[in-house]
Structure 1
Amino acid sequence: MNNSVVDTKMIYHCSQADITGGGGIETYVASLVLSHIPGVSNRIITDLKSVDQSQFQLLHLHDLEMLMDLRSECPAIFTLHNHSIYCPSGTKYLADRGKLCDRSMNLLGCAWGHLIDGCGSRRPQNILQNWENASHPLETLKKLQIPVIANSDYVRQQIISSGLSPERVVTLRCGVQPPKSATAPLNREIHQNQRILFAGRIVPYKGIEWLIKALAKTDPRIHLDIAGDGWGKPNMEKLAHQMGLSDRITWHGWCDGDKLAALYQQCLAVVFPSLWPEPAGLVTLEAYAHYRPIIASAVGGIPEHVRDGETGILVPLNSIQKLAAAINELAKNYQKSRLMGEQAQAWFQQEFTIDVHVQRLEKIYAKTIADFHGKTSDASYLNSCFR
């Protein structure tokens, strides 16, 4: 976007994400733009370098790279969508050890993590680039002193541990658009079909291997639908074949919105077996929107979105037996599965629709704007923004 595009003093989202489709950030930003919030432009700024930032009422940044070009000429906030600003690999997960990373970010520890623990690329040039991609925006964010939105308390605590003042960081959990097509509570016929659903990328830290191994210990009538694609798919197909599970798994590949909605409606539960500490996880909310309970790993920000025993079942990380037991529990008990799905949908309507999210976001906008203009006469505050 260039200067000629902007002709009113409005709030703008700033991101280079492709909002026509993709991952969590793309979906979230698209939802905000499509919500037509009063005073918020339906255009997205993709480059701040050549823009007169003083003309905006507020800039809402979503990308780390854009922090580097923010000049503090107007109110601004930054939403922290993932771990990339305080974790060079972006995962907080030590893949080769199968454990969460509890280290604070430092060059030596993170280099060790890449080289020894397999949390990222082992190529020296990639390690250095990953470090710079995280450390530079983090230092910039500390100096800017703008408010930060975290999408879970887990993420909030991580960024506070990395040096941000707790007063600067607020938790605002994600919201998602309600389904376009009609949804309905689980019925007995669908439950008897005994289908469960995984939706997401097929990469090791998403827990597909754990799920396949757990499936082998469930009732043989249970069928797993996998919606998604990724570089780990060939290995997972091979594993399923070796375990004699090929006829119990359908690999749907990447699914558009209509296909995914149909898969949600034909399952009895959604399984979210991530091994890495998901910042939040939109899959949980999408399951709720379709009246489906969630079976999820108790890691990262996921537990903040699951009421264990009420809207779903939380299972310990990488426990094959307990994941299998949770799947069997819902597959054998129609009434429990339906009730959990109904309670999940009610919680979704109360807390996680995009409309509820926008109402809370507007309050953050208003406070940020008021605070900025209340401090603009304070020279020490202005100077601190440019250090």
Structure 2
Amino acid sequence: MVSAPFQTPRALLHVFNRYLFRGGEELIADKIHADLSTQHEMTWCQYDSAEWTRENAPSKLDQVRRLFYNRDARNRFEAALDRSDAGAAVFHNVHPVGSPSLYHSALKRGLPVVQFLHNFRPFSVSGTLQIDGKLTPDALYGSYWKEVRAGAWQDSVVKSTLFALMLKALHRSGWLKSVKAWVAVSDFMREKLVSTGALPAARVHTLRHAWTPMPQLPAIEDAGYYLFMGRLAETKGVIPLLDAWDELHRRLGKNTPLLHIAGEGPLNATVQQRLRTNPYIGQLGHIGGETKREALRRCRAVIVPSTWWEPLGLVVYEAYDYRKPVLAAKSGGLTEIVQNGVTGLQHEPGDVKGIVEDVLAMEATPPTSRLVIGSAGRQWLLRETTTQIWLQRFEEILMEATKS
């Protein structure tokens, strides 16, 4: 008797704890939901960090308890699971509201979990492995002391201590056995997680983000300015970028190209201070919609100077979609999607001189050659990030996760 071929679950439960400030992970989680909906019956189970900041939020003491194990979140998870009749769950971030209770519930219910890793949590208090502007991968080896001392979570030593204790408890609980497949978004990220012993190689897979490119390109212009889009935080290389523009101003004077900074974050005041001393730096704040499209359409190049191990860098996809060169740090997954001299230029993370040299090189590049570089990025995007390829690879990962 020939057994029927194994089928992956038709229904999936999609779990995500949204952040206080919307970012790239939010965008990609929504896209994953939409893409998987073409193949599966998808049900959202969502939490929101804002639930703990609203008027009717749990007390601080109750939040501490729920950080370790949130029974209310577990009940919501199980209710969504029962409604969906899902055969597997797809997890993104579950902290702080979702809590480890979701892994515990999945394990008890025998529900296989596919866990996407958009940063280094649940192996790092900060999620970035960066402390005071320096990469500190101790957390991948199970040591959170340096992150705690630096107040890596919400700029608080007390909160960071609690988060570290929660991570320790989670890893010792055995509840992560519910995760049958860990999905890193770059080969770099996978290699770091495996080589440090944080995860077993057999259960860690690479799946870069898919992208839906614009079917019709708008008229591309070059208004001469450089564009930074991202969270205004140390991990994104904001300080080296500002320092580089000060150096460019010293060298070039009135011939300094403009830098437009789009985004919000803890370094907002620092950026505003630099605006007062360098007239060639402009701040756009948070942008979206037509404003964002115009910023991309008219820039000369996009700068991605991240100093942490950037898992991938969705902003590179956005730049490529508009045929724009990318000036990126040799950081994490950025090394896999930015080709030096082909789709952009690369500098060492945090290297002010390197950023300056990249900008000067781009300034010296003829307009036709800049267009060739941007077009190479667009071709890479069309070739490497199709939803069809992404779905096929996800199904392979899901099959391994649900068969094990």
- One-letter identity of the residue aligned with 2:92: H
Distance in structure 2 (CA, Å) of the matches to 1:224 and 1:23:
21
Match of 2:201 among 135, 143, 166: 166
Q: 1:142 to 1:58 in 2, by over 3 A?
A: closer
Question: Partner of 1:380 in structure 2?
Answer: none
- Counterparts of 2:232 and 2:389, CA distance in 1: 31
Deviation at 1:287, TM superposition (A): 0.8
Who is 2:5 aligned against? none
Alpha-carbon distance in 1 for matches of 2:318, 2:90: 24
Q: For residues 22 and 180 of structure 1, do their structure 2 counterparts lie closer, same or farther at Cα, with a shift above 3 Å needed?
A: farther
Q: Find the aligned partners of 1:138 and 1:339 in 2 and give their Cα distance.
A: 48
Q: Percent of pairs identical after alignment?
A: 22
Aligned-partner SS, 1:155 = helix
When residues 138 and 283 of structure 1 are mapped into structure 2, their CA distance, relative to the original with a 3 A threshold, is farther
* 8 Å Cα contact 1:17-1:26 kept in structure 2: yes
Unpaired runs of at least 5, structure 2: 1-8, 47-75
- Please name the residue that 1:57 is paired with: 87
Partners of 2:397 and 2:131 in 1: how far apart? 35
Please tell me whether residue 349 in structure 1 is matched to residue 385 in structure 2.
no
Please tell me the residue identity of whatever aligns with 1:144: S
For 1:342 and 1:122, the matched residues in 2 are separated by: 41
Distance in 1 of aligned mates of 2:263 and 2:204:
33
3-state SS of paired residue (1:358): helix
Pairs aligned (count): 351
Shift of 1:70: 1.2
Partner Cα separation in structure 2 for residue 48 and residue 263 of structure 1: 40
Task: In structure 1, list runs of 5 or more residues that go unmatched.
Answer: 1-7, 373-387
Q: Secondary structure at the match of 1:309?
A: coil
| Map of 1:274 onto structure 2 | 306
Equivalent residue for 2:187? Answer: 153
Contact 1:211 1:323 in 2 (8 A): yes
Cα pair distance change 1:36/1:167, threshold 3 Å:
closer
1:354 deviates by 3.7
Once the two structures are superposed, the pairs formed by residues 301-312 of structure 1 within 5 Å of their partners are 301-312=333-344
Mapping 1:26-105, distance limit 5 Å? 26-35=26-35, 37-46=37-46, 47-50=76-79, 51-52=81-82, 55-64=85-94, 65=99, 66-71=102-107, 73-95=110-132, 98-105=133-140
Aligned residue in 2 for 1:321 = 353
Residue 23 of structure 2 corresponds to 23
2:324 is aligned, of 258, 268, 292, to 292
Contact 2:230 2:264 in 1 (8 A): yes
Rounded to whole Å, the distance in 2 between the matches of 1:222 and 1:234 is 22
TM-score in terms of structure 1 length: 0.81
Distance of aligned partners of 1:209 and 1:164 in 2 relative to their CA distance in 1, 3 Å threshold: closer
Question: Could you say which residue in structure 2 is the equivalent of 1:378?
Answer: none
Amino acid at match of 1:67: Y
CA RMSD of aligned residues (A): 2.7
* Pair 1:122–1:253, CA change in 2 (3 A): closer
SS of 1:146 mapped into structure 2: strand
What secondary structure is seen at the aligned counterpart in 2 of 1:35? helix
**Aligned-pair distance for 1:327?**
1.1
Distance change (3 Å), C-alpha of 1:293 and 1:134: farther
Q: Assess if the C-alpha contact under 8 Å between 2:312 and 2:333 holds in 1.
A: yes
Q: Of 286, 289, 297, which aligns to 1:257? A: 289
Task: Classify 1:43/1:56 alpha carbon distance in 2 versus 1 (closer, same or farther; 3 Å).
Answer: closer
What is the deviation of 1:221? 4.0
TM-score in terms of structure 2 length: 0.78
Name 2:217's counterpart in structure 1.
Answer: 182
Question: Residue 401 of structure 2: which of 344, 368, 371 is its match?
Answer: 368
Greater Cα shift, 98-107 or 337-346: 98-107
Deviation string 1:162-202 (CA, Å, 9 cap, x unpaired) is 43210110111112332477345x5xxx33x3111000111
**Which amino acid is 1:27 matched to?**
L
